[in-house]
Amino acid sequence: MVNAHVAHDCVVGNHVIMANAATLAGHVIVEDHASIGAYSGVHQFCRVGAHGYVGGYSVITKDVLPYSKTVSERKTQNYGVNTIGLERKGFTPDQIAGITTAFRRLLRSKLNTTQALDAIKAAGVTPEVKVIVDFIESSERGVIK
């Protein structure tokens, strides 16, 4: 994995993969078990959540949700839960189902982010879903949906 770049004041968690020429601008936070694809750039002050996957050649200008697959081609989009990656890392089917349900409320309902978070909380919050809720509530730049 040659030429990956980590700029000043970045925080990179454990077990992070940065492929060829992946680039972090200053003050980026990459949480544990995240993957950043080849030739991708992460804008300053953005965060990549735990177990988040950024596809190759992506340009990230908002926070990447934990457990998500995010790719930018013409428009940066969240493609849902990184199910295969979570299975490989030992998440149980019940844990993945809870994360998937939360993502459906957040990404596929007609609710805005605040309403979706309220619906997620009302349905009951598992430890994995709490990671998502806390991540969104602490986001300063907004999240990629």
For residues 30 and 34, what is the distance between their CA atoms, to the nearest angstrom?
7
8 is catalytic: yes
From the candidates 5, 8, 15, 142, which is the catalytic residue?
8
From the candidates 9, 32, 94, 134, which is the catalytic residue?
9
Closest to 73 measured CA to CA, from 37, 105, 45, 103: 37
Q: How far is CA 44 from CA 7, 11, 101, 103, 140, in A?
A: 9, 12, 30, 25, 12
From the candidates 26, 32, 94, 142, which is the catalytic residue?
26
Q: Which residues are catalytic?
A: 8-9, 26
